[in-house]
Structure 1
């Protein structure tokens, strides 16, 4: 079910003089990134800069549904169109994704809001829209040529609802499901305690395709229950990166990615109706650089403090392949990682970043990254933001 939009008058925003004068370099975080001995990455990340941020007012409605909950985004360089998925559990509106445009003017967004092209309702295996609370969409990617989309749902382990990776038509229809290994399935004891599988609300937040389109990669936000603890103030969490053959859907490899400890302790409770103190950290998205290297977004949150967002480069080179293991032993060698960008050093309130994609090439030849935030439909003051970053020393090797 797809809704087209009429042509929109686009108010042109003034470019920041900072972008023109190069003063945005003061926002840069340069990482050094000397490659470890034996590393075979063809390019190593060197620098990332925040160029611009576009904010969508809270409460915005498009096509009769709230425009919010954006948890994944992907860019098609051939059409210049983005696809963005909402994590609406079919409660505020139907489970859906949007197609939109974010044109650039030099090194900044060219307008003060995204240009919405359409809204597409996702269908369940029944060919009908998802019933309320039967799905939790989190990430989305175009397949090669933008012929279809791959997307994830976190499910709800608390009620036995499994996470999944599915393929859908561009009009939202169900095509197929890529089966996850048995280790990911929620398992409960006789008393109802979760003893194995993905943790509730800490499952498949991230999804990406390698540049050749052959491999689908997804990553758990925190460790599977049997693999280790969730991230804490002093505790890392061994998440799993799963690589699957896009054509067959079969697993090709799995690697351990260690999530850093929670950045801050909570200082105040969440607003009603929650009213509790909360703090967590996890991988909210992943983006392929090539067949071995990835970018990850680690999102840390503490009530009363807010969000801490960090962007890392990581690689499977040298990491233990744990494909087929029901549980980790703790002796596995995790993926190497390096900090590429930390929003807390930029002076910008990043908010709840949940999506990242490659954007168009910038005038100076560097690559752009576009990140999007989940506004949680206005809860706790959340708003939708699009962040534009420039990055050097990273190439997809697919001609873009």
Structure 2
């Protein structure tokens, strides 16, 4: 999602943070919630090129432990270059990232069902997940303002179209219903068993309720599809927090908050990234644990009733509380094991082609 915004500053120092206390029985088999801490951050100024394309707009990221390579999708709507994803490396040393910028090793053009690259304005890539050898899943927000529907698609490793997944009618943009413009499928993950695609809107569907305000969050829909048949398995409601601060810049009075990414922990539990922005204030980024356990399965409902039990959640990390400069974080993935054996997470911030692409390295501890 693109924002009207202030330009952020460049360099950030790495700091550590102890996350919120854990809740028993929440993650894994009887273990507590994971504790997240920030290890390191690198920032890449906008305006550079990689392999003949403007580098930026990174809105989704996934890691292949087999090759040590990340796949990061750009939300360029084929305006600056054809819609694409990048292959890149982020090597680590004992203290964090081993370089001040990623090493880009490839760029892959996304193609439609006709085999051609997407024309300008016909696609808005937002999230991407590896789905086995030579298979990737990716989302497009579409453009509700012009009636262009969002999509969940499968591609081959060379970017070729393989299939579209059919969406429930409730998501299709129309008058006063469906996804809102620029607030569609920001989030995408695969279930732990690989059999389900889990995608989420950034904010409530138009018929479900309002977008986030300073007083209340918004009810994003979490859609679970059978990866093989494409049938809807479930729908849940994830409620974001309220916008934390009012805009202070009269020239940029915009403010919002939404769900920008999900990452499966197991068959019921996820990490959820919430991102908010206010003109003159900047970005707020928080990572939550959330689960479908105890939430209402609202599959097939054209509109929510407001009585649905939302997905329980718990704050794990407030990135702003670390003291680092926070930008437009829209992607999260597992990373490699750290030298001490702990798992890592990598967050990516979309620079909107006018700020900084950021990569945040997090430590995951379950003790």
Could you say what secondary structure the match of 1:29 adopts?
Answer: coil
**What is the count of residue pairs matched by the alignment?**
355
1:262-277 equivalent positions in 2, closer than 5 A:
262-269=243-250, 276-277=252-253
Could you say what secondary structure the match of 2:353 adopts?
Answer: helix
- Cα distance change of structure 1 residues 40 and 386 upon mapping to structure 2, 3 Å threshold: closer
For structure 1, the residue ranges without an aligned partner over 5 or more in a row are: 1-15, 19-23, 189-194, 270-274, 395-400
Of 48, 68, 89 in structure 2, the residue corresponding to residue 101 of structure 1 is 89
In angstroms, what is the RMSD of aligned CA positions?
Answer: 1.7
Q: 1:211 offset after TM fit, Å?
A: 2.4
1:347-358 equivalent positions in 2, closer than 5 A:
347-358=323-334
Of 138, 146, 149 in structure 1, the residue corresponding to residue 136 of structure 2 is 149
| Residue pair 2:150, 2:185 contacting (<8 A) in 1 also | yes
| Residue pair 1:287, 1:294 contacting (<8 A) in 2 also | yes
CA–CA distance in 2 between the matches of 1:314 and 1:259? 11
Decide which structure has the larger Cα Rg and report it: 1
CA–CA distance in 2 between the matches of 1:339 and 1:165? 28
1:321-374: CA deviations, max 9, x gaps? Answer: 001111110111000000000011100012000110000111222110001110
CA–CA distance in 2 between the matches of 1:315 and 1:219? 13
Q: 1:30 offset after TM fit, Å?
A: 2.7
CA–CA distance in 1 between the matches of 2:289 and 2:51? 37
1:210-221 equivalent positions in 2, closer than 5 A:
210-221=191-202
1:32 is aligned to 2:21? yes
CA–CA distance in 2 between the matches of 1:177 and 1:90? 19
Q: Structure 1: which 4+ aligned runs deviate by more than 6 Å?
A: none
| Residue pair 1:152, 1:165 contacting (<8 A) in 2 also | yes
CA–CA distance in 1 between the matches of 2:149 and 2:213? 24
| Residue pair 2:129, 2:188 contacting (<8 A) in 1 also | yes
1:296 is aligned to 2:283? no
Of 205, 209, 213 in structure 2, the residue corresponding to residue 224 of structure 1 is 205
CA–CA distance in 1 between the matches of 2:322 and 2:364? 15
Q: 1:106 offset after TM fit, Å?
A: 2.2
CA–CA distance in 2 between the matches of 1:124 and 1:291? 31
Could you say what secondary structure the match of 2:320 adopts?
Answer: helix
**Residue matched to 2:152:** 165
| Residue pair 1:32, 1:46 contacting (<8 A) in 2 also | no
1:384 is aligned to 2:357? yes
Could you say what secondary structure the match of 1:30 adopts?
Answer: coil
Q: Which has the higher helix share?
A: 1
1:43 is aligned to 2:43? no
CA–CA distance in 1 between the matches of 2:70 and 2:137? 14
**Residue matched to 1:259:** 240
**Residue matched to 1:374:** 350
Question: Comparing 290-299 with 104-113, which one deviates more in the overlay?
Answer: 104-113
**TM-score normalised by structure 1 residue count:** 0.86
**TM-score normalised by structure 2 residue count:** 0.93
